[in-house]
Amino acid sequence: MIKLNSSDHYIKQLKQKIESKVRHPFLARFIPEPAVDEDKLVILSSIMDHTSLSSVKKEQYIITTMLVQIALDTHDLVTLTEDDDDQETIRNRQLTVLAGDYYSGLYYYLLSQLEDIPMIQTLAGAIKEINELKMELYYKDVESFQEFLNGLKKIESLLIQRVASYVQRTTINDIAGEWLLAKKLLEEKKSYQEGKFSPLIDVLVKRPGILGNSGQVIVNIEQMLQSHVHRLEATVSQLPIHFNWLKSHVHSAIHHQFNQRQIAEEG
């Protein structure tokens, strides 16, 4: 059992445990191993640190929630373009779906060992709601960029917020939503500018009524990030003193990922 405390060393240990659980020799031959979202791991750890749960349950909740996140992220990697119809692409697509299902099964298995039906219901409900939100965001009409951002923020943070509500520790819910939204937008913008496919920006480009052409999409995202970062940093500073480690981590992430110079350089 990992010793429960919010520290870089603890996060590293947790990350290694999660990676060892999702590592599958057959899948690794054909598709990349899933990435563990360290920022979400940090948020979950901070939430659990301030509960009276046993160390066993804290660790189990963190790992199972992250397995759900990995399953959701893996299913998002499935390509649906008609042009990619060669046998290798089809096989990789099928294996990616299989991998997502495999990671989903892992968290059910772990929770069944803990015999925690309410937590299983919490996670299952969150999965259902997130998938519904994704359908609305990507396939239904969105009237404004702000509405689009609101939907994206829910998708990025809802799983963590549902778990936080379950353990009755919702202090950082709002900050988590703002932080994860900014991070997601920065990642998508960087991916798009590197010539990689960005499903998020692709949706916005295909809906010129929201922002206009691709150039306007990037400009609007940059402007949003610049104002968002200042607001996020001010909000984080107001967290209670017992969240000092989380505050330090967020400030570090802001300076490394969201500072104005980086945003300008990437733009």
pLDDT in tens, 66-95: 988 888 877 666 544 444 556 656 556 666
Full domain range(s) for residue 256: 1-266
Range name among 104-113, 121-130, 161-170 with the lowest pLDDT average = 104-113
Q: What CATH number did the domain enclosing 28 receive? A: 1.10.600.10
Place of tokens 């015999």: 115
Residues 57 and 114: beta-carbon distance below 8 Å: yes
Between the CA of residue 134 and those of 12, 41, 183, 187, what are the distances in Å? 30, 22, 18, 18
Between the CA of residue 21 and those of 16, 24, 67, 149, what are the distances in Å? 9, 8, 9, 33
Rg (CA), the chain: 19
Three-state SS string over 236-248 comes to HHCCCHHHHHHHH
Q: Which residue has the higher pLDDT, 160 or 227?
A: 160
pLDDT at 264 over 50: no
Q: What pLDDT was estimated at residue 97?
A: 58
Task: Quick: pLDDT tens for 183-217.
Answer: 888 888 888 888 877 778 877 777 766 766 666 77
Q: What are phi and psi of 74, to 5 degrees?
A: -65, -40
Which residue type, as a one-letter code, is found at position 222?
E
Mean pLDDT of 211-239: 79
Helices vs strands, H then E, count in the chain = 12, 0
Residues in the chain: 267
Of the pLDDT bands very low, low, confident and very high (cuts 50, 70, 90), residue 2 is very low
- State percent of the chain over pLDDT 70: 75
- State percent of the chain over pLDDT 90: 18
Work out the end-to-end distance of the chain between its first and last CA atoms, rounded to an integer number of angstroms: 44
pLDDT at 267 over 70: no
Number of structural domains in the chain: 1
Of the pLDDT bands very low, low, confident and very high (cuts 50, 70, 90), residue 45 is very high
